[in-house]
Amino acid sequence: MADSGPVAILALLPPPTTINDTHKVYSIALGCAFMCAVASSFVLWRLYTRVTSRSFGLDDCGAVFALLCYIAWSTMAVYANLHAGVGKPLWEITMDEYTVWFQVIVGCAFLYPIMSAAIRVSILLFYHRLFAVRGSAFRLANYALMAAQAVFMTVFVILPVFACTPIYAAWTLSLYPSSCRVQYFEDITTALYGASLGFDVILTVLPLWPISKLQIPLKQRAGIAFLFLVGTSATTAAAYKLAIWVWNLSRTWSGDPTWLSYQLSPFIPAQFDSYGVTYWIPSQVEPTLALICTSLPALKPVLVKIGRAIGSTVASLSPKRSVDGVSPSRPVLMYAAKKPRVVTIQGGKVPFHNSGSNHHSDIDAETGSEAGLKGDYFRLDEVSAHERPGS
């Protein structure tokens, strides 16, 4: 606008005084609620299996706190999309709805660093449970990253306090233009997302270090690595969120010319016209994938059993056929999997199938020596081709 002075602003249309939900969008709120339900189910399932197997550990305690933070975040996301006018045309949103909108933004500024740090700490505790050996470089790196999460959380919880003076000016539109440093808030948010993405990348590749030292066949090492690299989906979501945030900062125009006729148009960020898609969806997808991927290794034994049960059911429903001339009524042993050996990964253990032995034993990841069974483990339940009869 050429002139945004007090006289020019007063000549524009005032915001509506009654809530009009004609153009209200429910899909974003429903999507956030659905993602929350799915991620929470995975975490609760993980906790249930740990409790019933009597293997509940510190990483599970971390997962509980991370889940609570995530549920609080999801609640804010759903509430904002239902009660703050998110998704409606900006000129249709009342002052009260904008107040809720800005209050939620302030809440997110404080909660996001706590939630993201909590999720990463739970992952690091899980790594410690599986891989850490007293005095090892990996263990020291793990501790250093945990300390870094404490610093990350502390710094980014304190910084938003200085965005508005007083802080309630952030959601008081009469004070917002003169009492808030918008550029400062945008800069610290960009730094927050960037630092979070950096930590996510480190945590994604960190397990490859001890996995590469395992004295097991390459195929099985690749299988274990893949299980942990599934977490790249959450890292990709974090990268997308940062990219869309930075792109939106450069957009100072609104695609709705009607909005320019209203008094609040000089003060409300133009990015608000697509806030549900460009902010809430990426911000919900990232922790959702992180919690699901964190739970998968602990759920692998259960998932394998379910897969076997489904496979058996499908096989039983298939028509019986003779194999190599043998009558289908005669039992034929087509494939026999030996009991898996359990290989230690610096203190934890995963199975190693050895065709020459049916007993369970541990092998130290670095030395290859036999070790006692310690800690928690998950099963790969894979058998190499050379172990199959007749191969």
Write the CATH number for 31.
Answer: 1.20.1070
Question: Which residues span the domain enclosing 175?
Answer: 11-301
In a domain, residue 346? The reply is no
In a domain, residue 370? The reply is no
What's CA 120's distance to the chain center, in Å? 9
What's the token pair of residue 369?
A: 């020596």
Pairing of strands 362-363, 370-371: antiparallel
- Residue 364 has φ and ψ, to the nearest 5°, of -65, 135
Torsion of CA 256, 258, 260, 266, to 10 degrees: -70
Asked whether the CA dihedral 342, 343, 348, 350 is positive or negative, the reply is: negative
In a domain, residue 213? The reply is yes
What's CA 250's distance to the chain center, in Å? 27
In a domain, residue 383? The reply is no
In a domain, residue 349? The reply is no
In a domain, residue 147? The reply is yes
Is residue 116 within 8 Å of 159, Cβ to Cβ?
no
Q: How many domains does the chain have?
A: 1
Pairing of strands 341-345, 348-352: antiparallel
Q: Burial, 304: exposed, middle or buried (Cβ in 10 Å; 0-12, 13-18, 19+)?
A: middle
In a domain, residue 315? The reply is no
User: Alpha helices, DSSP H only, in the chain?
Assistant: 6-10, 27-52, 58-83, 95-131, 137-158, 176-179, 182-205, 208-212, 218-229, 232-249, 275, 281-317
Q: What is the pLDDT along the chain (391 residues), one digit of tens a residue?
A: 444 555 455 567 888 888 888 888 899 999 999 999 999 999 999 999 999 888 899 999 999 999 999 999 999 999 999 999 888 888 899 999 999 999 999 999 999 999 999 999 999 999 888 876 776 888 899 999 999 999 999 999 999 999 999 999 999 988 888 899 999 999 999 999 999 999 999 998 888 888 777 777 777 777 777 777 777 889 999 999 999 999 988 887 777 788 888 888 888 888 888 888 889 999 999 999 999 988 887 777 777 777 777 777 777 776 655 555 554 544 444 444 444 454 444 444 444 444 444 443 333 444 333 333 333 444 333 333 333 334 4
In a domain, residue 318? The reply is no
Q: Could you count the other beta carbons within 10 Å of the beta carbon of residue 113?
A: 23
Is residue 13 within 8 Å of 262, Cβ to Cβ?
yes
